[in-house]
Chain A
Amino acid sequence: MHFGPHLLLAALEGLVTSAVLALTALGLSLVFGVMRVVNVAHGEFFMLGAVLAWAITTAIGGHPALGFLAALVIAPLIVGAIALVAERLVLRRLNYNPEATIVATIGMLYIIQQLALTFYGPEARPVEPPFSYRILLPWFGYSGYKLSIIAASALILIASWLVLTRTRIGLIMRATQYDSETAQAFGIPVGRVYGGVFALGAMLAAIAAVLIVPISQAHYLMGQDPLLLSFIVVIIGGLGSLRGTVVAAVLIGMSDGIVSMFFSPTLAKIIATLLVAMVLVFRPQGLFGTASR
């Protein structure tokens, strides 16, 4: 294949990766930004979203779009509820102690993974895309659904930005993030905000998973890659910075797409990790993060 179309394909693949990555990383970033909790179980919420999407689409049947839309609404809600319960039962009891919550979320990771293995099984199962349209380019075909993921992700990111900057909920979240003690003194129910943010973070991961599951598959081990990449994105972009998350996601997604296509996927991972190291050395707060107080 010639260089031009080759690059186009690489860019398209990179954009799809970026779109999903931005959503997943945003969830991780929000949870850390507001609660100072490093959620190692984030990838498992992603996996749960995909597995539930399979369960919901299988239960509903009929036209694939019907089941998919239902999954897009119901799966994140269920995942959010599970996250809320986990937050109430575990993280709150640890007083959100940073070290303790890392260990606790590692435990959650294993518990969720094993439950998925027990109840869902070891198979990778497909979910039918809501529509299958193959865009025929002169050099190759490309999935129309993949392009729609990019659009959907952009819409959700814009919505998140509006919520964070233009609504009262966003204001409360930002206040809690800035200084939770003062926020509490001003009557903000910090405990409930924490619960909500943790659930919201998990829901974002679940939405990303529902979007990607028709082009990938639901599998109980699928949470590992998005977790690692999300961490990379969050470190590069700067914790709690929405803009940074999006920019870093595009950077990592595109470099992954292009480098792994022209060279090797291993090199792409090496570059991403090297980028993390460089950012940590020269700008520890991340590209768009603010220095810690």
Chain B
Amino acid sequence: MADKNGFFDLSKTALTRRTALKGLAAGAGLAVAPGFVRYSQAQSSAPIKIGFQSHRTGIGAAYGRWYEKTTAAAVKAINAAGGINGRQVEVIIEDDGTDPGRGAEVVGKFATQHKTDIVFGTLFSHVVIGSAPAAGENKMPYFVVSEGHHVASTKLNRYVFQPGITDVKSQIQSMAPWIAANAGKKVTQIFPDFAFGYDHRDYLPPALKAQGAEVIAQIAIPPTESSFTKYFPQIPPETEVIYHVMVGPAVLTFVKELGEFYGSNRPQLFGFIDSLEATDINSPGLEFLDGSHFWEGSPRYAQPDDSAAQKAYRAAVGIDDNGAAVGDPKDVSTAAHMFGCWETLYVVKKAMEDAGYKGPEDRAKLVEATEALTAFAEGPEHPQGAKTFNGKIHQCFGIQNISKVEGGKLKVVHKTKIEDGLYEAEGDYTTQAL
């Protein structure tokens, strides 16, 4: 292409000494102008800045959207009640593209460009694992609302916390007795071929074995796969339970194809709701799920015994009794996970208040104050249920729901106890230097 306008002709755009001086003068003038240093003079009145690493695009986008809605609702409630330490909370959102590399960049951007007080929010395990080193290097407290065992395994670093949602190891351990007693003893696992899936692969067999059941086959599926029929012949015929935990946009296809393959003559199904998050259970092809069971962190459908706190939370985040956006029944939420954003923000609030947090120089104090937390009572701040927190592994423990698909709805049939999900800590973050 011809460079008619001379865009690439450097001789035309070179800086003259005069322009450079002008620019410098203007820059210096801006820096001393009133307003520019306002917040450094009166830091106590500046808002607390929370960097939100959101899955706006990529395979986690549906989660990202609802995580943002939940976060906005929680921040609104916190600010209406006076903020944190008398300061308002401001959320700055950056898209991580559900990509580990981008995730790490976003953490760096929050640290150096936005200068946020903490980073918060992300879900997908590979993004958490990819971003954790950046949080450690920048000494940036990083509160994730993920699910994998990555935080609790103590393989990350002291700046990473997961205080608002339980991890897969705990979830599996607390549900295994129910699966063995009610669904069947011979289990075939189908899981996504990456970090989150590996937690299921590694922790289900021992958990089931302790209950006298066994995993007879494990089928890993690439997370970008869009068709699944070809994997089904690997399911052994003697399978009594298919344990499925799939993520990403193709999950609906997975269930539909499973339905075509088996018809009514299927083994029991036990799934993680991840296989259906943000998906209408009454979608064509999903009739096949009728009578099967799901894990839910927080129930999608309003239950008859919902607490006042749960009802208030649902109203605040704007979901109806079916877990869809108020006013748009087709916009199904990620209810089973997104409560974690709400609860994590209240944990941050509590820890900042305990630490007397004033600004980024108090980040180490914030880490220690978070580690000192031990329990969260059920209530408006923790609508999903009571939790304990282990400061050594930065992980909370709570209850799990097992729900049955009945008449196109999910009905909670079993709630586990906190103790069911407790396990021996694998390490201790508090021994790491800050």
Q: Which residues of A contact B226 (CB under 8 A)?
A: 216, 222, 225
The answer to whether B283 touches A140, judged by C-beta atoms less than 8 angstroms apart, is: no
In the complex, residue of chain A having the shortest beta-carbon distance to the beta carbon of B265: A141
In the complex, residue of chain B having the shortest beta-carbon distance to the beta carbon of A124: B249
The answer to whether B153 has its CB under 8 Å from any CB of chain A is no
The answer to whether A126 touches B252, judged by C-beta atoms less than 8 angstroms apart, is: yes
Q: Which residues of B contact A94 (CB under 8 A)?
A: 1
Distance in angstroms from B65 CB to nearest chain A CB is: 6
The answer to whether A261 touches B230, judged by C-beta atoms less than 8 angstroms apart, is: yes
The answer to whether A217 touches B250, judged by C-beta atoms less than 8 angstroms apart, is: yes
Distance in angstroms from A192 CB to nearest chain B CB is: 24
The answer to whether A219 touches B249, judged by C-beta atoms less than 8 angstroms apart, is: yes
The answer to whether B1 touches A217, judged by C-beta atoms less than 8 angstroms apart, is: no
The answer to whether A9 touches B230, judged by C-beta atoms less than 8 angstroms apart, is: yes
In the complex, residue of chain B having the shortest beta-carbon distance to the beta carbon of A258: B230
With A124-B252, A217-B249, A266-B222 in contact, do A6 and B64 touch (Cβ < 8 Å)?
no
Q: Which residues of B contact A261 (CB under 8 A)?
A: 230-231, 233
The answer to whether B59 touches A221, judged by C-beta atoms less than 8 angstroms apart, is: yes
The answer to whether B225 has its CB under 8 Å from any CB of chain A is yes
The answer to whether B256 has its CB under 8 Å from any CB of chain A is yes
The answer to whether B262 touches A141, judged by C-beta atoms less than 8 angstroms apart, is: yes
The answer to whether A64 has its CB under 8 Å from any CB of chain B is yes
The answer to whether B285 has its CB under 8 Å from any CB of chain A is yes
Q: Which residues of B contact A97 (CB under 8 A)?
A: 1
The answer to whether A123 has its CB under 8 Å from any CB of chain B is yes
The answer to whether B263 has its CB under 8 Å from any CB of chain A is yes
With A123-B62, A134-B260 in contact, do A9 and B278 touch (Cβ < 8 Å)?
no
Distance in angstroms from B56 CB to nearest chain A CB is: 8
In the complex, residue of chain B having the shortest beta-carbon distance to the beta carbon of A5: B233
With A128-B284, A260-B230 in contact, do A221 and B252 touch (Cβ < 8 Å)?
no
The answer to whether A61 has its CB under 8 Å from any CB of chain B is no
Q: How far is the CA of A10 from the CA of B234 in the complex (A)?
A: 12
- The digit string for B38-70, where 1 denotes a CB below 8 A from any CB of A, is 000000000000000000111101101100000
With A9-B230, A123-B278, A143-B260 in contact, do A265 and B225 touch (Cβ < 8 Å)?
yes
Q: How far is the CA of A129 from the CA of B253 in the complex (A)?
A: 12
User: In residues 127-175 of chain A, which contact B (Cβ within 8 Å)?
Assistant: 128-129, 132, 134, 136, 140-143
Q: Which residues of B contact A260 (CB under 8 A)?
A: 230
**When the two chains form the complex, which single residue of A126, A225, A257 contacts B284, counting CB atoms closer than 8 Å?**
A126
The answer to whether A134 touches B263, judged by C-beta atoms less than 8 angstroms apart, is: yes
The answer to whether A141 touches B62, judged by C-beta atoms less than 8 angstroms apart, is: no
In the complex, residue of chain A having the shortest beta-carbon distance to the beta carbon of B260: A143
Q: Which residues of B contact A9 (CB under 8 A)?
A: 229-230, 232-233
The answer to whether A13 touches B227, judged by C-beta atoms less than 8 angstroms apart, is: yes
Q: How far is the CA of A88 from the CA of B203 in the complex (A)?
A: 57
Q: How far is the CA of A64 from the CA of B283 in the complex (A)?
A: 13
Q: Which residues of A contact B222 (CB under 8 A)?
A: 265-266
The answer to whether B237 has its CB under 8 Å from any CB of chain A is yes
Count, A-B residue pairs, CB within 8 A: 93
The answer to whether A122 has its CB under 8 Å from any CB of chain B is yes
**Chain B contact residue count (CB 8 A cutoff):** 36
The answer to whether B249 touches A1, judged by C-beta atoms less than 8 angstroms apart, is: no
User: In residues 141-172 of chain B, which contact A (Cβ within 8 Å)?
Assistant: none
The answer to whether A100 has its CB under 8 Å from any CB of chain B is yes
The answer to whether A126 touches B262, judged by C-beta atoms less than 8 angstroms apart, is: no
- The digit string for B274-290, where 1 denotes a CB below 8 A from any CB of A, is 00001100011100000
The answer to whether B263 touches A136, judged by C-beta atoms less than 8 angstroms apart, is: yes
Q: Which residues of A contact B194 (CB under 8 A)?
A: none
Q: How far is the CA of A136 from the CA of B262 in the complex (A)?
A: 9
Distance in angstroms from A65 CB to nearest chain B CB is: 13
- The digit string for A186-223, where 1 denotes a CB below 8 A from any CB of B, is 00000000000000000000000000000111010110
Q: Which residues of A contact B250 (CB under 8 A)?
A: 124, 216-217, 219
The answer to whether B253 touches A64, judged by C-beta atoms less than 8 angstroms apart, is: no
User: In residues 57-96 of chain A, which contact B (Cβ within 8 Å)?
Assistant: 64, 94
**When the two chains form the complex, which single residue of B58, B231, B283 contacts A126, counting CB atoms closer than 8 Å?**
B283
The answer to whether B253 touches A216, judged by C-beta atoms less than 8 angstroms apart, is: yes
Q: How far is the CA of A225 from the CA of B260 in the complex (A)?
A: 24
In the complex, residue of chain A having the shortest beta-carbon distance to the beta carbon of B57: A117
User: In residues 265-282 of chain A, which contact B (Cβ within 8 Å)?
Assistant: 265-266
Q: How far is the CA of A265 from the CA of B230 in the complex (A)?
A: 9
Q: Which residues of B contact A142 (CB under 8 A)?
A: 260-261
The answer to whether B284 touches A64, judged by C-beta atoms less than 8 angstroms apart, is: yes
Distance in angstroms from B248 CB to nearest chain A CB is: 8
In the complex, residue of chain B having the shortest beta-carbon distance to the beta carbon of A123: B62
The answer to whether A13 touches B57, judged by C-beta atoms less than 8 angstroms apart, is: no
Q: How far is the CA of A143 from the CA of B250 in the complex (A)?
A: 17
Q: Which residues of B contact A6 (CB under 8 A)?
A: 233
Q: Which residues of A contact B285 (CB under 8 A)?
A: 126, 128, 132
Q: Which residues of B contact A140 (CB under 8 A)?
A: 232-233, 261-262
- The digit string for B217-249, where 1 denotes a CB below 8 A from any CB of A, is 000001011110111110001000000000001
Distance in angstroms from B283 CB to nearest chain A CB is: 5
In the complex, residue of chain B having the shortest beta-carbon distance to the beta carbon of A113: B57
- The digit string for A107-124, where 1 denotes a CB below 8 A from any CB of B, is 000000000010001111
Q: Which residues of B contact A10 (CB under 8 A)?
A: 230
Distance in angstroms from B59 CB to nearest chain A CB is: 7
The answer to whether B62 touches A122, judged by C-beta atoms less than 8 angstroms apart, is: yes
Q: Which residues of B contact A221 (CB under 8 A)?
A: 58-59, 249
- The digit string for B1-25, where 1 denotes a CB below 8 A from any CB of A, is 1000000000000000000000000
- The digit string for B165-189, where 1 denotes a CB below 8 A from any CB of A, is 0000000000000000000000000
Distance in angstroms from A115 CB to nearest chain B CB is: 13
Distance in angstroms from A176 CB to nearest chain B CB is: 24
| Cβ contacts A to B, 9 pairs, < 8 Å | A9-B229, A123-B62, A128-B284, A134-B263, A140-B261, A141-B260, A215-B253, A222-B226, A261-B231
- 5 closest residue pairs by CB, A with B: A122-B61, A124-B249, A128-B284, A1-B233, A261-B230
Contacts A124-B62, A126-B252, A225-B224 known; 8 new A-B pairs at CB < 8 A? A97-B1, A123-B279, A140-B232, A140-B233, A142-B260, A143-B257, A216-B226, A222-B249
Interface residues of B (CB under 8 A from A): 1, 56-59, 61-62, 64-65, 222, 224-227, 229-233, 237, 249-253, 256-257, 260-263, 278-279, 283-285
Interface residues of A (CB under 8 A from B): 1, 5-6, 9-10, 13, 17, 64, 94, 97, 100, 117, 121-124, 126, 128-129, 132, 134, 136, 140-143, 215-217, 219, 221-222, 225, 257, 260-261, 265-266
